[in-house]
Amino acid sequence: MNQNSREHWGSRIGFIMAAAGSAVGLGNIWRFPYVAGDNGGGAFMIIYLVCVFFIVSNIMVAELAVGRRSQLGAVGAYKSISKKWTFAGALGVLSGFLIMGFYPVVGGWALAHVFKSFTGLLNNPAMIGANFDIFIESPVQPLIWMTLFLFANVWIVAKGVKGGIETAGKFLMPLLFVLLLIIAGRSLTLSGAGEGIRFLFQPDWSEVNAGTVLAALGQAFFSLSLGMGCMITYGSYLDKKENLPNNAILVLLMDTGVAILAGLALFPAIFAFGMTPSGGPGLVFVVAPTIFAEMGFLGIILSTLFFGALMIAALTSSVSLLEVVVTYLIDEKALSRKKAVGLAATVMVVLCIFSSLSLGMMQNFSILGVGMFDFFDILTDKIFLAIGGLLLAIFTGWTLKKEDLRDELTNGGQVSFKLFDVWYLMTKFVVPVVIGLVAIAGIMSIEETGVMILGLLIIFVFALFSKKL
- The contact set with ligand PFF (CB under 6 A) reads 22-23, 25-28, 99, 222-223, 225, 228, 230, 317, 320-321, 324
**CB of 309: closest distance to ligand PFF in angstroms?**
13
**CB of 228: closest distance to ligand PFF in angstroms?**
5
**CB of 230: closest distance to ligand PFF in angstroms?**
3
Closest to ligand PFF by CB, 222 or 271: 222
**CB of 334: closest distance to ligand PFF in angstroms?**
23
**CB of 99: closest distance to ligand PFF in angstroms?**
6
**CB of 385: closest distance to ligand PFF in angstroms?**
7
**CB of 51: closest distance to ligand PFF in angstroms?**
14
Closest to ligand PFF by CB, 28 or 212: 28
Closest to ligand PFF by CB, 290 or 380: 380
Rg (CA), the chain: 21
Closest to ligand PFF by CB, 20 or 136: 20
What is the SS3 string spanning the chain?
Answer: CCHHHCCCCCCHHHHHHHHHHHHCCHHHHHHHHHHHHHCCCHHHHHHHHHHHHHHHHHHHHHHHHHHHHHCCCHHHHHHHHCHHHHHHHHHHHHHHHHHCCCHHHHHHHHHHHHHHHHCCCCCCHHHHHHHHHHHHHCCCHHHHHHHHHHHHHHHHHHCCHHHHHHHHHHHHHHHHHHHHHHHHHHHHCCCCCHHHHHHHHCCCHHHCCHHHHHHHHHHHHHHCCCCCCHHHHHHHCCCCCCCHHHHHHHHHHHHHHHHHHHHHHHHHHHHHCCCCCCCHHHHHHHHHHHHHHCCHHHHHHHHHHHHHHHHHHHHHHHHHHHHHHHHHHHHHHCCCHHHHHHHHHHHHHHHHHHHHHCCCCCCCCCECCECHHHHHHHHHHHHHHHHHHHHHHHHHHHCCCHHHHHHHHCCCCCCCCCCHHHHHHHHHHHHHHHHHHHHHHHHHCCCCHHHHHHHHHHHHHHHHHHHHC
Closest to ligand PFF by CB, 225 or 358: 225
Q: Torsion-angle region of residue 208: left (phi > 0), alpha (psi -120 to 50) or beta?
A: beta
Closest to ligand PFF by CB, 63 or 448: 63
**CB of 222: closest distance to ligand PFF in angstroms?**
5
Closest to ligand PFF by CB, 193 or 214: 214
**CB of 257: closest distance to ligand PFF in angstroms?**
13
Closest to ligand PFF by CB, 26 or 305: 26
Closest to ligand PFF by CB, 99 or 353: 99
CB-CB contact of 328 with 199 (8 Å): no
Closest to ligand PFF by CB, 22 or 290: 22
CB-CB contact of 210 with 442 (8 Å): yes
For ligand PFF, which residue has the nearest CB?
Answer: 27
**CB of 28: closest distance to ligand PFF in angstroms?**
5
